[in-house]
Structure 1
Amino acid sequence: MKTKAVRMYGKEDLRLEEFELPPLKPGEILAQVVSDSLCMSSYKAAIQGSSHKRVPADIDRHPVMLGHELCGEILQVGDRWKDRFSPGQRFSIQPALNYRGTLDAPGYSYPYIGGDATRVIIPEEVMEMDCLLEYQGDAFFLGSLAEPISCVAGAFHANYHTRQGSYEHSMGIVEGGKTAILAGVGPMGLAAIDYAIHNPRKPGLLVVTDIDQERLDRASRVYTVEEARRQGVELHYINTSRQGSEQELLDLTGGAGYDDVFVFAPVRPVLEQGDRLLGHDGCLNFFAGPSSPDFRAELNFYEVHYSAHHLVGTSGGNTDDMREALDLMGRGLVNPAGMITHVGGLNAVIETTLNLPAIPGGKKLIYTHKNLPLVAIDDFAARGATDPFYAALAEICGKNNNIWSAEAEAYLLREAPEI
């Protein structure tokens, strides 16, 4: 069976190609991808090529498929897995396999599985590690967003706190405590806001910062102060480009500082500010991975010693986090649709991936069987003046606070041109 896929051959060398998939082995599963959410991690892989820790050294001869936030349907099941999976099942994948101690992952390391493809072969190690997860939602894009939500869940679970005289760590954010999300209105920051407000273990105070007022305003429309209050969370959005904003952040804690600080941009001043905002026994989570292996910042080790400050870094969730994400979405507690700001087809993947840091907004959602330019949801109405397809999408999204939805997806899958 043929597939169309974006494959990586080297640094910034991405190619959209059509080719034949090999015959299915008894331990494999053939599937079609319907949606893939583009991740900054894919950009990092694309600019680093085989220098990336998850990317094989020989991609110039054996290219790998790109994309790891995928959702689709199973087409054919190898004999080994017929008692667990069947054609027609919808699925999502936890890409962090940790298979036999390697960093291999779909979207980085494999020739026949990646999210930016029409059809893929799921290798047996995905099933062996219990990383092929059934998805029962009514919209494919939510299945694609389960992976980034799981990364946020993993970050909130990885933070820890201590008690003087005890050597046991209490895992997770301080329930009812004070949490700050710095540089927090990008794609993953939006997911963190949603998760912080709606997951069972909530902070009492949540402060979200950024230097882009337009992005802060959009975040406040999607995840409102009123909704947070209904969930028992006091939510503030603060523009840290303003003079005196750091003192404002501390004043919200009564000068005590924050229990949990998450840094969502690999920017030295933001990380150092996060260190200054920590209170006693505060945990700083450096979530956003830098592209440079030489990235450094200063931390106050006096406070490490006397105020029990500590630092963690997380770059993904595990399979339990993925199941949690799917469960929270399935019960309607978390709705990450607000993360999505752009929608396009498989033809838009290469240009979008290579320019991802320069494209404003949140998540870029790809429908892999479609031929569509990458277009911001906010631009649908303008395009709709001359294109009935975008006029209809603008009307659908307009009914829902200009947020992507299952209705919008159904219309796109029905009406958009095939790749």
Structure 2
Amino acid sequence: MKMQAVVMRQGQLEQAEVLVPRPGPREVLVKTLACGICGSDLHCVKHGRQLLASAREVAGIDLFDFDAPVVLGHEICAEVVEHGPDCRRTVGSGTRVVSAPFLLRPQVVTLGFGSLDTPGGFAEYMLLSEDLLVPVPADVPSDLATLAEPVAVAIHAVNRGRLGIDDVPIVVGCGPIGLTVIAVLKMRGIGPIVAADLSPARRAMAKAMGADVVVDPREASPYAAWKTLAGADTPSRFGRQTALFAGFPFRQSVVFECVGSPGIIQQILAGAAPCSRIVVAGVCMERDNFQPTYAVMKEIDIVFCFAFTMEEYAEAFDLLASGKLRVGNLITDRVGLSGVQDAFDRLANPEGDTKIVIIHSH
């Protein structure tokens, strides 16, 4: 049996007919209903060799074969079609599901970076592990369900920031992750929230997601905006203090770096308040540098984060399904497989779309 898929090879995308994969033990074959296009998908196409080199150097793994066909897509909603061997069948055929993008094999497979045997959501069918399936309620649209994965990334970033209820966050970069971080902060009652982005469209979206003050960093400093909001009237509300900046009369600063471009970390170190916590959620694919003395003298904590835990994924989907977190307006367009290349081109323009979801027609 064959299916349609958008295949990446050597940084090029093309639609092709490929074999439908076969589920292994405790796996199910699913029909892909919807799949979000993620920034990391764009990175894979544009910076595939750098991504592979980093994964090999840091983790000793080959994330995928650059010269072999790869089927991207890890923000998925799908329908169970067939159960593989040894399945408990706790989720029946015909059930719509989401899943964290992993296959629980002896060597765990990260879906969305796999071969034709373990394709991601840019294919009409894919494999999922039965133990990771989360049924989707009837009133939750399939395209909305795909946002569980980026929401989980944002929850993980916010959790890594260890924010107290009195902390005042700054979100630098209002792409999909920055916007979702804003939504999570707002939902948790943390604020006021300052957001910064060069793009007018993204600044407008940041406001819609719950940012209290939104600035164009070419015209105004987000750190100056933070100062106007974060003043504390009593020492009990002061953020962490050091001798070099004793008596700094402001609440705790937490800065989320959601850009992922060289130079941004240094800009934040230069502008951020003393004793800030910086959460680096942006994925910079190039070599970067910064001046440690800024971080040393200000005693700034820098935290890097990647992906999410299974618990955070479950929390993300529960928040979406319950309506407690409303981020559906992140989705600005929907395309079929034939529109994927055009969607990639459009997503390179920050003034255009925020999140494009592939809708599969079967």
Determine whether 1:223 maps to 2:209.
Answer: yes
CA contact (8 A) 2:80 2:92 kept: yes
Q: Which residue of 2 aligns with 1:380?
A: none
Inter-CA distance 244–332: structure 2 relative to 1 (3 Å threshold): closer
Q: Helix, strand or coil: the match of 1:335?
A: coil
CA contact (8 A) 2:262 2:284 kept: no
Q: Which residue of 1 aligns with 2:45?
A: 46
User: Structure 1, residues 23-52: CA drift from partner, whole Å, max 9, x if none?
Assistant: 444433110111111011011112344652
CA distance in 2 between partners of 1:300 and 1:257 (Å): 23
173, 176, 185: which one aligns with 2:163: 173
Q: Which residue of 1 aligns with 2:321?
A: 330
CA distance in 1 between partners of 2:224 and 2:105 (Å): 46
Determine whether 1:60 maps to 2:67.
Answer: yes
Inter-CA distance 332–245: structure 2 relative to 1 (3 Å threshold): closer
Q: Helix, strand or coil: the match of 1:353?
A: helix
| Equivalent AA in structure 2 for residue 70 of structure 1 | I
CA distance in 1 between partners of 2:114 and 2:13 (Å): 14
Number of aligned residues: 334
TM-score (norm 1): 0.72
CA distance in 2 between partners of 1:346 and 1:300 (Å): 49
Identity of aligned residues (%): 21
Deviation at 1:179, TM superposition (A): 0.8
CA contact (8 A) 1:50 1:57 kept: no
Q: Which residue of 1 aligns with 2:110?
A: 105
Q: Which residue of 1 aligns with 2:216?
A: 239
> Pairwise CA RMSD of aligned residues?
2.7
Determine whether 1:153 maps to 2:155.
Answer: yes
The unaligned stretches of length 5 or more in structure 2 are 56-60, 232-248
CA distance in 1 between partners of 2:49 and 2:26 (Å): 27
User: Structure 1, residues 70-105: CA drift from partner, whole Å, max 9, x if none?
Assistant: 111111112322342221222112126697686x41
CA distance in 1 between partners of 2:93 and 2:340 (Å): 27
- Is 148-157 or 307-316 further displaced after alignment? 307-316
Inter-CA distance 100–239: structure 2 relative to 1 (3 Å threshold): farther
CA contact (8 A) 2:194 2:222 kept: no
The unaligned stretches of length 5 or more in structure 1 are 160-171, 226-234, 370-417
CA contact (8 A) 2:257 2:265 kept: yes
CA contact (8 A) 2:168 2:226 kept: no
198, 206, 216: which one aligns with 2:187: 198
Determine whether 1:31 maps to 2:30.
Answer: yes
Q: Which residue of 1 aligns with 2:285?
A: 291
205, 211, 218: which one aligns with 2:198: 211
CA distance in 2 between partners of 1:148 and 1:245 (Å): 24
| Equivalent AA in structure 1 for residue 291 of structure 2 | E
